[in-house]
Amino acid sequence: MAKTAGKKTLFVDTNILAYISLTNSPFHTGARNKLNHYLQNGYELWISRQIIREYLVVMSRTLSDQGGYDATRLTGDTRKLYCAAIGFVHLENAI
């Protein structure tokens, strides 16, 4: 968590994005609630391109292991995250 030019910002790590995406995760609700808390309190959420690469690896392995690999969903999620990382959309619109 940081403040830049008067803005409150929060860097979101890969595991949080994965927990939000995996609705059967025991951490899903907690992760979503925590990010919603930050959004409702005026924080900007940030990610990096590295986080997107890690997300793609984690999610493709996890979904494959669960027998529910959905390349279309994963591609769509990754594109949204990439757009957020390069500033086309805010992260809250991508998750």
pTM of the model: 0.74
Judge whether 66 and 73 are in contact, CB under 8 Å.
Answer: no
For residue 51, with 0-12 CB atoms within 10 Å meaning exposed, 13-18 middle and 19 or more buried, which class applies?
Answer: buried
Note the pLDDT tens digit of each residue in 4-60.
567 888 899 999 988 888 888 899 999 999 988 988 898 888 888 888 889 888 888
Q: Please check whether residue 2 is in contact with residue 9, taking contact to mean a CB–CB distance below 8 angstroms.
A: yes
